[in-house]
Amino acid sequence: MKTETGKQSDWALYRRLLDYVALHGGAFLLSILGFLIYSVANVLLADLTQFLLDSLGEASQISMGFVSNAAHWFWPPGDMGPVEYARIAVPVAAVVLAVIRASGYFFGNYFMNIVARGVVHRLRTQVFDALIRVSRQFIDGHTHGELVSKLTFNVEQVSGASSEALKTILRDGLTVLALISYMLYLNWKLTLVFFAITPAIAGVVVAVGRHFRRYSRRIQDSMGEVTQLSNESMRAFDELRMFSATEQQSERFRAASQFNRVQSLKLAFVQAVSTPIAQVLLALALGALFWFALEPAILASFSAGSLVAFIAAATQLSKPIRTLTNVQSIIQRGLAAAEDLFAQIDAEPEPDHGQLSLERAHGAIALDQLSFTYPGAEQRVLTDISLQIPAGKMVAFVGRSGAGKTSLMHLLCRFYAPSAGSITLDDQPIADFKLDDYRRQFGLVSQRVVLFSDTVRANLAFGQRDSVTDKALSEALETAQAASFIDAMPDGLDAMLGDGGSGLSGGQKQRLAIARAILKDAPVLILDEATSALDNESEAAIQASLEGVSAGRTTLVIAHRLSTVERADMIVVMDEGRIVATGTHTELMAEGGLYANLYQQGFAAS
| Strand partners for 555 | 394, 525
The Cα 46–Cα 65 span in angstroms is 10
Burial 209-221 (b: 16+ CB within 10 A, else e): bebbbbbbbbbbb
Nearer to ligand ADP, 275 or 407 (CB): 407
Q: Pick one of ligand ADP, Mg ion, none as the site partner of residue 374 (Cβ within 5 to 8 A by kind).
A: ligand ADP
Edge to edge, the sheet with strand 420-425 lists 380-389, 365-373, 420-425, 428-429
Q: Pick one of Mg ion, ligand ADP, none as the site partner of residue 56 (Cβ within 5 to 8 A by kind).
A: none
The β-bridge relationship of strands 524-528 and 365-373 is unpaired
Name the one range near ligand ADP by CB under 6 A: 46-54, 121-129, 323-331, 403-411.
403-411
Name the one range near ligand ADP by CB under 6 A: 106-114, 181-189, 300-308, 398-406.
398-406
Give CA separation, 194 vs 15, 278, 488, in Å.
Answer: 31, 13, 80
Task: Write down the least CB distance from residue 556 to ligand ADP, Å.
Answer: 12
Sign of CA dihedral 341, 342, 345, 348: negative
The Cα 17–Cα 493 span in angstroms is 46
Looking at 34, 173, 305, 404, which residue binds ligand ADP (CB under 6 A)? 404
Which residues from 397-416 bind Mg ion, rule CB under 5 A? 406
- Residue 526 in the binding site for ligand ADP (CB under 6 A): no
Task: Write down the least CB distance from residue 577 to Mg ion, Å.
Answer: 13
Could you tell me where the DSSP H helices lie in 132-165?
Answer: 136-140, 144-149, 155-160
Which residues from 474-503 bind Mg ion, rule CB under 5 A? none
* Straight-line distance from the first to the last Cα atom of the chain, in angstroms, rounded to the nearest whole number: 36
| Strand partners for 570 | 395
- Residue 406 in the binding site for ligand ADP (CB under 6 A): yes
- Residue 532 in the binding site for Mg ion (CB under 5 A): no
Task: Write down the least CB distance from residue 380 to Mg ion, Å.
Answer: 17
Which residues from 136-175 bind ligand ADP, rule CB under 6 A? 140
Task: Write down the least CB distance from residue 24 to ligand ADP, Å.
Answer: 42
- Residue 211 in the binding site for ligand ADP (CB under 6 A): no
Name the one range near ligand ADP by CB under 6 A: 68-76, 106-114, 115-123, 405-413.
405-413
Number of residues in contact with ligand ADP under rule CB under 6 A:
12
- Residue 506 in the binding site for ligand ADP (CB under 6 A): no
Q: CA dihedral in degrees (337, 339, 342, 346; nearest 10)?
A: -140
Fill in the per-residue mask, 358 to 377: x = in contact with ligand ADP (CB under 6 A), - = not in contact: ----------------x--x
Fill in the per-residue mask, 34 to 53: x = in contact with ligand ADP (CB under 6 A), - = not in contact: --------------------
| Strand partners for 398 | 573
Beta strand segments in 467-534, E: 524-528
Task: Write down the least CB distance from residue 447 to Mg ion, Å.
Answer: 5
- How long a stretch of residues is the chain? 606
- Residues with Cβ < 8 Å from 575, sequence gap 6 or more? 399, 400, 403, 594
Nearer to Mg ion, 181 or 406 (CB): 406
Task: Write down the least CB distance from residue 599 to ligand ADP, Å.
Answer: 17
Neighbours of 186 (CB within 10 A): 24
Which residues of the chain form contacts with Mg ion (CB under 5 A)? 406
Which residues of the chain form contacts with ligand ADP (CB under 6 A)? 140, 374, 377, 381, 399, 401-407
